[in-house]
Amino acid sequence: MLRDYDCFETVEGYIFSTLGDVHPPDRYWSILKYVPGEGPWRRGTTTYRRVLKKYTVIEYLNSIEFLKSSNPSYVYRDATVDAEIIAPPGERITRVYRARDAMEEILNGERLGRLESMVRHLCGLLSDLSGVDERSFGVTGSILMRMYHDDSDIDLLIYGLRETKALMEALSTTSRIDGMRLVKDGDDSDWVSRATGRYPLSETDLRSLASRVINKGNFQGKRFTIFAVRNDPLFSYGDYVFVRRGAKEVRLEVTDCTQSLCTPSIYGVDDDNEYGIEAIWCYDKMLAGLLREGDVAEVRGELEIAMSNGVERWRHVLVGSYRGAGAEYIRLL
C-alpha cells in the first residue's frame, strides 16, 4: 500500500506523488510531479522537468488536461467527489518509492551525498527538539527518487498524529537553532512572495499568516518543508460522498489543529456558525499548519456536505476546490 507522499513511476517514466491515503480501487489519487524532459533533475542519463512549479489548483487542473491528451486512462471521474482526479491504474505502475524507507536508508547509510547528510542532520535535530524518534520521519520529493540537484529542497514527513503534535509544539517555541531558521522567525520573504497573487489578501494579511508558518524554513542554506502523514486513512474509499453547496465566506473559530499538517489539512471549528460547518478542509498546502486553537479566521471556500447512506454526517468548507481556484483564502482576524 502506498502512503501519502510516497511516489511511483509509470511505464512512460512519469513520476507521481500520492495525494492522501484514500484511493479508488486499483488506482492512486496523486499529482503528476516529473516527466522526462529538459530540466535539472537527473537519474542516470534521463533528465526530468517538473510539471507543478507552484503547486496551485490551476496547475493541477492543467496537468489533468495534459494527461487527458497523452494518457487518458490516468484521469478518473471520481463519483465520491463528483470531479476528475489524477489516479493512474495500478497496472501502469512499474516502480514505487516509499518515503519512510528512504529515510531509514539515509539514517543507516555510510556513504551519503551532501544533501542526504543534511537530511540526516536535520532529522536528528528535529528528533532532539521534539522527543520524536528519528524513525517516525520520512523524506519525499526529489531526494526520495535520488534525482536531486544542487538547488533541491529538503521535503520531510512525520508519521502519526501524536508525533506531529509533539513536533509542532516544539517548533512553535523554537527560534533559530543549529543552522535552522523557520519562516515564522522572520524568514518569510519567500513565503510571502509565493502567496502574493495566489490569494486575494493584502501584504499585511499575508505576513500575518507567514508569522504562523512553523513547518517551513531554511536549514544551513537549504529550504525545507515538513508535512504529516496519518497512521491510518481518514476513512475507506466509498464510505462518504461529498456534495457541493457553493462558495461561502464565513467567520470560524478554530478548536482543533491536530491534523493541520496532513492531507487534507483539517482544522476543527466551532459549528455554531451560519452554515453549521464543523471543519476547514484544505488541499492548498501553503495553508497547512497555520492556524492555532482559539484563532478566529475568515474563510472563503466551497461548502461540502459529507453523506453516507443518504444521511448527512458533517459539513466542512473546502479551501483548494477546483471552482474556487484563485478566489479562496484563509485570513486571520
C-alpha distance from residue 222 to each of 41, 134, 276, 290 (Å): 17, 20, 43, 21
Whether 226 and 157 have beta carbons less than 8 Å apart is answered as yes
C-alpha cell at 73: 486512462
* Location of C-alpha cell 484521469: 75
C-alpha distance from residue 246 to each of 51, 137, 249, 300 (Å): 29, 38, 10, 11
Helix (H, G, I), strand (E, B) or coil at 246: strand
| Amino acid letter for position 68 | K
Burial class (CB in 10 A: 0-12, 13-18, 19+), 55: middle
Q: Which phi-psi region, left, alpha or beta, contains residue 130 (left: φ > 0; alpha: ψ -120 to 50)?
A: alpha
In this prediction the pTM is 0.96
Kindly report, residue by residue over 254-288, the tens digit of the pLDDT. Answer: 999 999 999 999 999 999 999 999 999 999 999 99
Mean pLDDT of the 142-171 span: 96
pLDDT at 76 over 80: yes
Mean pLDDT of the 308-312 span: 97
Residue ranges of domains in the chain, CATH in brackets? 7-96 (no CATH), 99-229 (3.30.460), 241-332 (2.40.50)
